[in-house]
Amino acid sequence: MPLYEYVCQDCGVRFEVLRPMRDADADIPCKNCLGKNTKRALSVFYASSDGRSVTSSGSCDSCSGGSCSSCGHH
Ligand SMILES: [Zn+2]
Spatial CA neighbour of 39 closest among 15, 72, 63: 15
Residue 22: phi, psi to the nearest 5?
Answer: -70, -20
Cα–Cα separations (whole angstroms), residue 33 to 10, 50, 70: 8, 28, 10
Distance 42 CA to ligand 1 centre (A): 18
Output the pLDDT for position 52: 56
- What stretches in the chain show pLDDT beneath 50? none
Distance 32 CA to ligand 1 centre (A): 5
Identify residue 74 by its one-letter amino acid code.
H
* pTM of structure: 0.54
Output the pLDDT for position 62: 63
Output the pLDDT for position 41: 87
